[in-house]
Structure formats: C-alpha cells, structure tokens
C-alpha cells in the first residue's frame, strides 16, 4: 500500500473558498473531490489517486465543522463528505461517485462492461458495502462493550461474503476499480478489528493489491 500525501497535504477548504468563483467557471472536464481522509471519501480519493485521474482534492475537515459551512452546504446540502464536482455537475454519495468515475474513466479503471456478470459483481460488492456493511459499521460507534453483538455481526457478514470472492482480482484477471474499493473497505474493517481471521482468499487479495493502491493516510488531514 502506498500512503500518499505531502507534508502540506491536499489543498484545504480555505483555498477552495478563496478561488470558488474561478472554480465555478471551470470547464466541464475539471474534477474537484471534497473529502476527508477519515471518511468514506478515502475510498473515492484512492480511486482518483490509484488511477492517476487529474483532479483537485479539497479536504473538508468535519472535525472543525467545515462540512456545515454555507459554502460547503451549497456543494452537499446534507453536509456530508465526499462530494464530487465535475464542471457544473455535483455528485454526492460515495457509491454514486464511485460508479460515476467508473463510467467516466472505464478504460483506466478496467470497469466491467454493462450487462456482463463482472459488472453485476461490481454492483453487488459496492451495494453490499454501502448498505449492509456500512449501516452496521456506523452502529458500532462509539465503541463499547454493548457493541460486541454488532461487531460480531460485521465479522460474520465479511466471513459469509468471502464465499462470493473470486480471484485473482475481484472481477477476473485484471486489477480494476473494484479491487481498490475492496482494499480500502477491508482496511477499515481491519482497523476496526472486525476482520475475520484465517480467510486465505482475503489475505492473499490484500497482499496482492496492496502495493497497487494509493491510499491517503487514514489520519485527519
Ligand atoms: N451515504 C453517504 C454517507 C456520507 C457520510 O455519512 N459521511 C460522513 C463521513 S464518513 C460525514 O460526512 N459525516 C459528517 C456528519 O455527518 O456530520 C456516502 O456514502 O457518501
């Protein structure tokens, strides 16, 4: 795994505010990703970085309330990260951003073609994470003794899902966006210590794709 980010880090929200007028006039091709390294935005940022997609990364520090500022609420009225601005188009919801990027940059990301079994597999994992897993993971915070049942559930869900895992990569023989999605998601569950031990297919996968994923350090930006 490559942890990326200079000492100065990506541009902070301040720099977005200063230049917002010119950014709004940017050409359609300009991508601006609003995220925080300790958020679901780490996954969409990893996609942009791993596949070398030109973009501007803007950290929205929700720990400092930047997600509730009037400027950011114009980007995402829900006050959540991540969000993606593409010209005049704004996409929120990390799963939607993932699928939007997958279609825009299908060649670089090795996105499976519509209507193929691999495309179905891609949807399956992304929706599994966004709905079943992340809803349960959110309920596991803040940690405490009473969270043991939900943590056991997370572990057991991951264990069951492993039977759906086919290698060497998640959609066949080539490294794709879905590998990045799984790697980042799995890293979170390892960090939360709800990672099922002894599942060789997961362990091999993490070792295989880790060196190829560019993941912004999972520490506050
Ligand atoms: N379903 C949304 C969830 C977004 C979300 O809840 N983001 C969190 C960080 S992971 C956030 O912005 N939290 C700040 C808050 O809710 O105040 C997605 O996947 O993008």
User: By the 8 A CB rule, do 109 and 102 touch?
Assistant: yes
pLDDT digits (tens, 9 = 90+) for 13-67: 443 443 443 344 344 569 999 999 999 999 999 999 999 999 999 999 999 999 9
Residue spans per domain, the chain:
2-108, 111-211
User: By the 8 A CB rule, do 215 and 41 touch?
Assistant: no
Residue 218 has a pLDDT of: 58
Q: Which residue in this structure is represented by tokens 């006050």?
A: 79
Residue 15 has a pLDDT of: 39
Give the Å distance between the CA of 67 and the centre of ligand 1.
10
Give the Å distance between the CA of 140 and the centre of ligand 1.
15
Distance CA 163, CA 173 (A): 18
93 lines ligand 1 (CB under 6 A): yes
Bridge partners for 58 per DSSP: 34
2-108: CATH class: alpha beta
Distance CA 213, CA 3 (A): 9
Question: Per residue in 62-84, is it b (16+ CB within 10 Å) or e — as a string?
Answer: beeebbeeeebeebbeeebbbbb
Quick check: 2 pLDDT over 80? no
Give the Å distance between the CA of 106 and the centre of ligand 1.
26
**What is residue 218's three-state secondary structure?**
coil
**What is residue 172's three-state secondary structure?**
strand
The mean pLDDT value of the chain amounts to 87
User: By the 8 A CB rule, do 208 and 183 touch?
Assistant: no
Give the residue, out of 80, 84, 184, with the most ligand 1 atoms within 8 A of its beta carbon, to mutate for a pocket test. Answer: 80
Smallest CA separation from ligand 1 atom 13, residue: 80
- The atom number, within ligand 1, closest to the CA of 62 reads 14
Give the Å distance between the CA of 35 and the centre of ligand 1.
10
Q: Give the CATH architecture of domain 111-211.
A: Up-down Bundle (1.20)
**What is residue 192's three-state secondary structure?**
coil
Indicate the pTM of the whole model: 0.88
């Amino acid at each position: 795994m490559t942890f990326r980010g200079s000492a100065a880090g990506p541009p902070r929200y301040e720099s977005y505010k200063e230049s917002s007028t010119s950014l709004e006039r940017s050409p359609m091709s300009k991508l601006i990703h609003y995220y925080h390294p300790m958020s679901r935005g780490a996954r969409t940022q990893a996609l942009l970085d791993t596949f070398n997609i030109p973009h501007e990364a803007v950290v929205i520090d929700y720990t400092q309330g930047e997600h509730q500022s009037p400027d950011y609420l114009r980007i995402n009225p829900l006050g959540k990260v991540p969000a993606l601005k593409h010209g005049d188009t704004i996409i929120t919801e990390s799963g939607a951003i993932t699928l939007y990027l997958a279609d825009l940059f299908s060649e670089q990301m090795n996105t499976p073609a519509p209507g193929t079994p691999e495309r179905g597999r891609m949807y399956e994992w992304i929706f599994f994470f966004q709905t079943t897993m992340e809803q349960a993971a959110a309920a596991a915070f803040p940690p405490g003794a009473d969270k043991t049942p939900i943590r056991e559930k997370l572990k057991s869900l991951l264990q069951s899902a492993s039977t759906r895992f086919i290698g060497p990569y998640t959609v066949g023989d080539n490294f794709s966006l879905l590998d990045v999605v799984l790697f980042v998601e799995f890293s979170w569950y390892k960090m939360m210590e709800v990672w099922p031990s002894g599942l060789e297919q997961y362990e091999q996968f993490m070792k295989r794709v880790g060196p190829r994923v560019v993941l912004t350090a999972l520490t506050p930006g």
